[in-house]
Amino acid sequence: MATSAPVPTATDDDVCRHLALGELTVLARITDSSNNALLVKVMHEGRTQHAIHKPIRGERPLWDYPDGSLVARERAAYLLSHAGGFDIVPPTILRDGPFGPGSLQSWIGAVDGVADSGLVEVCPPGQAPPGWIVVLRGEDGVGRPVVLAHADDPGLRVMALFDAVINNSDRKGSHILRDAARLRGIDHGVSLSVEPKVRTVLWGFIGQPLSAGERARLERVAQAIDTDLREDLEDLLTTAEIRALSERIVGLLRTGAFPAPAPGWPAIPWPAL
């Protein structure tokens, strides 16, 4: 009989293989997806892995990213996350589904729940948990003061650094999930542009020096971009996008600190959570 739990010791490579080889069945449309994503199950060798499938055909056109390029960015984000040891992006592949080619990413947490990290909040001033970092002060819909704050958490630092690398323009609170003991980030379709446009709720680390481990991740991913990942990235991104990616990493290593938002671009995603 099929079990519904993935093998507990499965590596990301194992999960990618399962996603690539398994039989895909659509379970539901994800109603809060702007790109017509589907919840699917993928059966392989008697095991079930739930996943999110984004058909290219379902992508909503955007003014600032080429049409039909978002799922390639999802895959590129996974490759970079994996190669650099950031391990932020759940295993993600490209494959055909019932609506043609698209991305397939392993599902984090229960299929009928949301694996919210609980590490980002909008709350009244002074009510963020102790030690949290306030990144924005504002007002709610009826004029009451609120703050946007996130935990001072090592996993969030890694995610913020990864977002600086991939130039993520949509790191909302709801794109930060908890998977057992680790944090995972989702929805990287709007990333890897040439123009600097990081939009994130994770601005609490601006100016903080990079740790040795953080520098090592940057060096590892830079090396991979020039070697093992090169060909794959060339299938997914433009030459200019790959060059800009390498330049962002060089810039981060040179300044040695978490970056500030680029001028002239909204720095906080909306909605923030």
Strand arrangement of the beta sheet that strand 133-139 belongs to? 120-123, 145-150, 133-139
Residues 72, 186, 245, 272: which binds ligand ADP (CB under 6 A)? 186
Q: Is 176 one of the binding residues for ligand ADP (CB under 6 A)?
A: no
Residues 102-141 that bind ligand ADP (CB under 6 A): 105, 107-109, 114
DSSP per position, 183-224:
EEE---SS---SS----BS--TTTTPBPPHHHHHHHHHHHHH
Q: Kind and range of the H or E element at 19?
A: helix 12-21
CB of 227 to ligand ADP, least distance (A): 28
- Note whether 192 and 220 are within 8 A (CB): no
DSSP state of 59: P
When the beta carbons of 174 and 224 are compared against ligand ADP, the nearer one is: 174
Residues 37, 77, 119, 221: which binds ligand ADP (CB under 6 A)? 37
Q: Is 187 one of the binding residues for ligand ADP (CB under 6 A)?
A: yes
Q: Single out the segment in contact with ligand ADP by CB under 6 A; choices: 133-141, 152-160, 181-189, 202-210.
A: 181-189
- Note whether 74 and 189 are within 8 A (CB): yes
Q: Is 55 one of the binding residues for ligand ADP (CB under 6 A)?
A: no
- Note whether 190 and 73 are within 8 A (CB): yes
Q: Which does 93 bind (CB under 5 to 8 A by kind): ligand ADP, Mg ion, none?
A: none
Distance CA 50, CA 266 (A): 34
Residues 7-36, mask of contacts with ligand ADP (x by CB under 6 A):
-----------------------x-xxxx-
Q: Is 90 one of the binding residues for ligand ADP (CB under 6 A)?
A: yes
Residues 59, 121, 163, 187: which binds Mg ion (CB under 5 A)? 187
Whole-angstrom distance between the N-terminal and C-terminal Cα of the chain?
39
List, in order, residues 6 or more apart from 67 with CB less than 8 Å away: 59, 61
CB of 187 to Mg ion, least distance (A): 4
Q: Is 169 one of the binding residues for ligand ADP (CB under 6 A)?
A: no
Distance CA 41, CA 107 (A): 9
Of all residues in this chain, which one has the CB nearest to Mg ion in the complex?
Answer: 187
What residues make contact with Mg ion under the rule CB under 5 A? 187
> Which residues are at the interface with ligand ADP (CB under 6 A)?
30, 32-35, 37, 52, 54, 90, 105, 107-109, 114, 174, 177, 186-187, 189
